[in-house]
Homo-oligomer: A and B are copies of this chain.
Amino acid sequence: MITWKNMDELASFDALKQAKPIDLAQAMRGEGGAQRVKAYTVPMGAGLHFNYGARPVNAEILDRLSAFAKEQQLTEKYAALYNGEVINTGEKRRVLHQLTRGQLGDDVIADGVNKRAFYVGEQQKIAELANKVHNGEITNAAGEKFTTVVQIGIGGSDLGPRAMYLALENWAKVNGKLKMKAEFISNVDPDDAAGVLSRIDVAHSIFVLVSKSGTTLETLTNESFVKDALVKAGLDASRHMIAVTSQTSPLAQSSDYLAAFFMDDYIGGRYSSTSGVGGAVLSLAFGPEVFADFLNGAAEADALAKNENLLENPAMLDALIGVYERNVLGYQTTAVLPYSQALSRFPAHQQQLDMESNGKSVNRFGAPVNYATGPVIFGEPGTNGQHSFYQLLHQGTDIIPLQFVGFKNSQMATDVLIQGSTSQQKLCANVAAQIVAFACGKDDENLNKKFAGGRPSSIIIGEKLTPAALGALLAHFENKVMFQGFAWNLNSFDQEGVQLGKVLAKKVLAHDTDGALKVYSDLLNI
């Protein structure tokens, strides 16, 4: 029997607050530090490991986090989710994105169909289309092969798929898997679409229009923008566009598209990279087998998240240490720092995933919570960030927990030996060095050169950024966010906070404004 409770109603949360905080700089020094880092590691699927040696926990705090996980029934709540219960209470919806990559529990029957079978069926339809495009069965009107795929979508229909594409583009290039180059149009700013159109060859491009409702303003506007360009180029737009949408959307049955693939209300935008939202563009870009490997990596991580033992459940562990940092130690922000240029936009995806899911002030029943919830998430790849904002991370007046990611091998395997080491070795040496610098600090008579240390981090380490590793990485953070939502008793699957802006923007466009809104509208010449 599941009971949904606010965190501050739990005896185990009180106990957690009473635990003596560790002195991280001290704990990370010497042989004790070495033992910590060796011990505090857990496999997270697809060959990745989550190492939390430099997070501010010890055996005592981990015990209390375990007790918290049990009292807050995190495992049971996860089971409720993957067994198809209505976890998205605000919108009264199930939460089924994990069924796109595997099935962890009962058959989920909704809308009269088995949802796992439905998602797999859509994947197969996408795979068939992608294969036909790649082998030349589907071409443009001139009988020429398509070379570029352009995703038109915003939010979850853009950030996740774009981050995943960039993560694998170079890997695909050197492994003979880059079937088509992908581009993305998202912003309603007309210069976004105009800029992309100015650098692609529209005659050899397929556009993937992604909107669950079929009513997203930005996406429909950009569709028209693109159709205008296709018509101006003398092309038949319906031969260049496919739709990813829900079966009830106006786009679903339109003859304007070469094909339509379906999603449903049980997959939120920010959780949709493994659905057709990511599936169409990634299968077209890299081929269906690569997309399948990506899903398998995600499925491995999902399975690990079932583990009742906190120490063998990397997503739950990451989540609860985060709760401890946020609600006991009082840290407001988390930085995401992948030492991998291919993950340049992964922080932007994680920013949406986390901040849109858990940036809330009411619990899942709409009652206010009396504790801090989701942190601000930001980040850039290392080593670039080291030459940018790390100054503040090392010596600023606030402590910012850090999430590093690193891989032993590069994707393209082209490298150069300078001063006795390769670039890949330099990259890895830097992330190792940063973890210890942040945790241990360094004393100095000149306080301007002193590092206080005590700045926590974790690192996810993999062999190489492959499709499976990327899938596991994606799912790890989805599951982390889910567990944090359960811990805080939030509904992590709606986003009512985006509505007011939409309503007011419509008023501005209808010139139905007064007061400050009218003045801003005038200043902006609307």
Select the residue from A217, A428, A501, A504 with max chain B CB neighbours within 10 A: A501
Q: Is the CB–CB distance between A394 and B332 below 8 Å?
A: no
Whole-angstrom distance between the Cβ of A250 and the nearest chain B Cβ: 14
Contact between B416 and A228 (Cβ–Cβ < 8 Å)? yes
Q: Which residues of B contact A158 (CB under 8 A)?
A: 384, 387
A398–B437 touching, CB < 8 Å: no
- Chain B residues, Cβ within 8 Å of A505: 426, 429-430, 432-434
A500 at interface by CB-CB < 8 Å: yes
Stretch in A186-194, A258-266, A293-301 with 4+ CB within 8 Å of B: A186-194
A249 at the binding interface (Cβ < 8 Å): no
| A449 part of interface (Cβ distance < 8 Å) | yes
Q: Known: A34-B516, A500-B437. Contact between A426 and B221, CB under 8 A?
A: yes
- Given that A36-B516, A366-B447, A391-B498 are contacting pairs, would A340 and B459 also be in contact in the complex, using a CB cutoff of 8 Å? no
Q: Is the CB of A412 within 8 A of B195?
A: yes
- Per-residue contact bits, chain A 44-65, to B (CB 8 Å; 1 contact, 0 not): 0000010101100000000000
Q: CB of A113 within 8 A of chain B? A: no
Residues of B within 8 A of A341 (CB): 187, 189, 191-192, 195
Q: How far is the CA of A333 from the CA of B352 in the complex (A)?
A: 17
Does B187 lie within 8 Å of A384, measured CB to CB?
yes
B383 touches A189 (CB 8 A): yes
Contact of A524 among B225, B384, B406 (CB under 8 A): B406
Out of B332, B406, B526, name the residue touching A332 (CB < 8 Å). B332
Q: A388 near B428 (CB under 8 angstroms)?
A: no
Chain B residues closer than 8 Å to A497, beta-carbon distance: 390-395, 451
Report the separation of the CA atoms of residues A160 and B452 in the bound assembly, to the nearest whole angstrom.
29
In the bound complex, what is the Cα–Cα distance between A423 and B220 (angstroms)?
A: 11
Task: Give the docked Cα–Cα distance between A475 and B434 (Å).
Answer: 32
Q: Is the CB of A217 within 8 A of B426?
A: yes
Q: Is the CB of B170 within 8 A of A38?
A: no
Q: Cβ of A523 < 8 Å from any Cβ of B? A: yes
Q: Are B376 and A428 in contact (CB under 8 A)?
A: no
Contact with B along A276-314 (1 / 0, CB 8 A): 000000000000000000000000000000000000000
Cα–Cα, bound, A228→B418 (Å): 12
A386-430 vs B, Cβ < 8 Å mask (1 yes, 0 no): 111111111111101000001010111011101111111111111
User: Are A398 and B372 in touch, CB under 8 angstroms?
Assistant: yes
Contact of A452 with B361 at beta-carbon distance under 8 Å, contacts A333-B333, A437-B500 already known:
yes
- Say whether, besides A33-B516, A383-B189, A155 and B435 are in contact (CB < 8 Å): no
Cβ-based interface call for A374 (8 A):
yes
Residue picked from A36, A195, A432, most chain B C-beta under 10 Å:
A432
Q: How far is the CA of A424 from the CA of B221 in the complex (A)?
A: 11
Identify the closest chain B residue to A41 (Cβ). B523
Q: A194-B414, A429-B521, A441-B500 are known contacts; what are 17 more A-B pairs with Cβ within 8 Å?
A: A28-B515, A34-B518, A158-B384, A187-B341, A189-B424, A190-B412, A361-B395, A367-B447, A371-B397, A372-B398, A374-B392, A387-B498, A394-B501, A395-B496, A426-B505, A428-B526, A437-B504
Across the A-B interface, the 5 shortest Cβ-Cβ residue pairs: A359-B392, A155-B387, A433-B504, A378-B378, A33-B516
